[in-house]
Structure 1
Amino acid sequence: MIHRLLSRRYYSSTQLVGDVGQYLKQCRINEVNTNSTVFRGTLYEFHVKHLLETKLQAKNMVRCGGAYDNGIDIIGQWDLTPFYKESLKINSIEQKISSSSLLNYTAGSSAKRPISLSDDIQLVVQCKNTKKRLGAAEVRQLSGTLEYHKFNKKKTFMLMVSPHPLTAQGISQLNKSTYPMINLVVSPLKNKIDHYDYASWEGGNLSSVYFNLAATKRLSGFRMDHQLLSLTN
């Protein structure tokens, strides 16, 4: 389903590049200007993709950014099973689970159409490698992207990734959305040695995570606040 969607809407010249290492190798061969905003933005997107795969259990992720990405930079799936299993191990006061929680729609629940925590959750990612904090206007634009593509609100999480936290107005706008949206703050990438060598880049750390109200309700019972805190630097 994801790849059929990509073939119709999200074609990119770097779509066949699987990871950040391959992208940098391609850039070295083509002598790409590493000081350009296009290079820096694309590198940031590939790094975010790697971060999501290695730390947040994302899978089947495809970078589809470019001139015709329709507001989507990365798309794939989110395997929530490991987070759910870990939440069962956390000793704490029993939480009241929201009626909107995904746990009410999994196999074994009373849901007529059960949702698989490992295969049915879609991740839609937009990266904004900017030097300033994002505000309400950028969040409204993101909401428009979700409406345009008509994603299933119950099964889709939108990640807005940026080097700096949202402004107060941006957070307020994020909480007005009926779509589950999450802001990840991933610090800027820096390199003074070899721009074509991924290992020589520094930064790019996950420093904070903010869930809007819809995402908080959808993930109620997963103890994501506790688990993701351990991933931040």
Structure 2
Amino acid sequence: MSKPEAESISSSVGDDQQEHSLNVITNTAATTQPSSSESTAGKASSSQLSISEITDGLTNKLNDILMEVNKTDKDLTRVFDGIERKLSSFTINKHSLLHTVSGSPITFLKISAMSHPVFSKLSSRLLNTSKMSKLFVTPLELASNKEEIQEQPKKVKKRAKSKKSELEVIGNSKYNSLNTYLDYAKAGKVSTDSTVFQGNLYELSFLEFLRTHFDLSRIIHQGGKDDKGIDIRANWNLTNLKPVGTSKSAKKESKVFETVNAVKRVKPLVLKKDLTKSLNVKLYVQCKCWEKSRVDARMVREINGTFFNGDNERLRANSQNNVSLVSNTGVSDKKVKIGGAKLNSQSFLMVVAPTGFTRQGLIDFDRSLLPLIFVKFSKNRLLDGVGKNGVYELKNYEIGRLESVYCNPMAQALMKGLDWVNFIREISLDQGSDYNHTTQ
């Protein structure tokens, strides 16, 4: 074999070996690459599975929480609706709640708020509802007023057992009370829908209220065509209205003359020398059994006209600080007459109606120099389901109740130093009605 041939053979062999080694390397890389990609895919699939498991777990927990919240909300709504239904079935107020049994709504709210934090939402919902804001007291008010109210139960019970309602009423010989009037109306077949029947029933129901809660004597019912604007008159003893404050500073502060419109010095009744005489006043009552009408400016003018007996006269304090009528010349020539009786600082005029004031009516009511007291007293209501034969029986009526009391500036000035507000509050507690006393 020649040398060139041997070289060519060796080169070809070398090329074959290089090609073979390259193929081996290529095949090795090819076989290695898929295995690495498969492991990467396996790792990715395993990581995706763990995230989905976590997501499913969180979703299940959130669903459980939402179901529990939804259930709690339904429970709260059911409880709230139940309380609202119960409250709508009877009348309740801020003060009578303090005297209810342990199962009262406010006690329920207090216990629930303590036992379960979720009920605090219910409490705030109830207390913030405009319909019920007047019906509930907060725990702070309950705690602050509990001792004050509990100090007065004996006084309230004594007033409830009083025999004032047995006082004889001077008036119509045919009737002088609700029972006797209903008997009279039944015998005379008076229509219960007539204004005469409704007016007399309203007057007599308020008369019963006065006899029960006010310290009155010589009560005269003179309602009718010739009543001269006065339905009820009586002597009113104010000695059971305790003076406000017991300290020397409080007494000294109360000994201040009041200025009311044209009267510069109005002397409160408690500052009179003879309290026994000054605290026994005349009370004149005018009742208006209205359906929709309210005390307006015309009504106030009628009151002033009825009591003044003159258009050019006005009130001014005399040397004894009694309210009297004087003419424009400053010379006292007439006394105010109320149904034939003279008016001075020891006479109060009470206007009673189931409605309120108009805006101008209230302004004129305050401007009046007569000591005026407005009482909002509800009308009597025939109970549902009562037949024709039962309309003349008192048991079938829901008798009118005290709703609010308002004194004009002159009446407030004369009563300064007397605990008039608590007096009305006690009356409200006795009858269980809504209490609302307004002062300027």
* TM-score calculated relative to the size of structure 2: 0.45
User: Conserved in 1, the CA contact under 8 Å of 2:377 and 2:400?
Assistant: yes
Secondary structure at the aligned position of 2:240 is classed as: helix
User: Conserved in 2, the CA contact under 8 Å of 1:159 and 1:184?
Assistant: yes
* TM-score calculated relative to the size of structure 1: 0.82
- For 1:203 and 1:22, the matched residues in 2 are separated by 15
- Does residue 198 (structure 1) correspond to residue 358 (structure 2)? The answer is no
Q: How many residues align?
A: 212
- For 1:52 and 1:90, the matched residues in 2 are separated by 29
Of the three residues 144, 168, 188, the one matched with 2:379 is 188
RMSD: 2.4
Q: Which residue number corresponds to residue 159 of structure 1?
A: 350
User: Conserved in 1, the CA contact under 8 Å of 2:352 and 2:375?
Assistant: yes
Structure with bigger gyration radius: 2
- For 1:22 and 1:90, the matched residues in 2 are separated by 46
User: Conserved in 1, the CA contact under 8 Å of 2:270 and 2:278?
Assistant: no
- The structure-2 alpha-carbon separation of the partners of 1:40 and 1:98, relative to structure 1 and needing over 3 Å to count, comes to farther
Task: With a CA cutoff of 8 Å and minimum separation of 6, indicate the structure with the bigger relative contact order.
Answer: 1
- Does residue 172 (structure 1) correspond to residue 363 (structure 2)? The answer is yes
Say which structure is richer in helix.
2
| 1:36-51 equivalent positions in 2, closer than 5 A | 36-51=194-209
User: Conserved in 2, the CA contact under 8 Å of 1:77 and 1:122?
Assistant: yes
- The structure-2 alpha-carbon separation of the partners of 1:188 and 1:176, relative to structure 1 and needing over 3 Å to count, comes to same
Of the three residues 115, 125, 128, the one matched with 2:277 is 115
Post-superposition shift, 1:97?
Answer: 4.1
Q: Which runs of 5+ in 2 are unaligned?
A: 1-169, 258-266, 310-336, 434-440
- Does residue 102 (structure 1) correspond to residue 269 (structure 2)? The answer is yes
Measured against aligned partners, the alpha-carbon deviations of 1:142-187 in whole angstroms (never above 9, x if no partner) come to: 1111113253221110000000122222221111111100000001
- Does residue 134 (structure 1) correspond to residue 295 (structure 2)? The answer is yes
- Does residue 144 (structure 1) correspond to residue 144 (structure 2)? The answer is no
**Structure 1 stretches (4+) deviating beyond 3 angstroms?**
87-91
Post-superposition shift, 1:16?
Answer: 5.2
Post-superposition shift, 1:231?
Answer: 2.5
Over the matched positions of the two proteins, sequence identity in percent amounts to: 28
User: Conserved in 2, the CA contact under 8 Å of 1:98 and 1:217?
Assistant: no
- The structure-2 alpha-carbon separation of the partners of 1:185 and 1:200, relative to structure 1 and needing over 3 Å to count, comes to same
- For 1:106 and 1:65, the matched residues in 2 are separated by 35
User: Conserved in 2, the CA contact under 8 Å of 1:98 and 1:220?
Assistant: no
User: Conserved in 1, the CA contact under 8 Å of 2:269 and 2:278?
Assistant: no
Post-superposition shift, 1:57?
Answer: 2.2
- The structure-2 alpha-carbon separation of the partners of 1:30 and 1:180, relative to structure 1 and needing over 3 Å to count, comes to same
- Does residue 32 (structure 1) correspond to residue 198 (structure 2)? The answer is no
User: Conserved in 1, the CA contact under 8 Å of 2:371 and 2:410?
Assistant: yes
User: Conserved in 2, the CA contact under 8 Å of 1:184 and 1:208?
Assistant: yes
- The structure-2 alpha-carbon separation of the partners of 1:121 and 1:30, relative to structure 1 and needing over 3 Å to count, comes to same
| 1:18-97 equivalent positions in 2, closer than 5 A | 18-84=176-242, 87=243, 94=250, 96-97=254-255
Query: Which range moves more in the overlay, 210-219 or 59-68?
Result: 59-68
- Does residue 219 (structure 1) correspond to residue 415 (structure 2)? The answer is yes
Secondary structure at the aligned position of 2:362 is classed as: helix
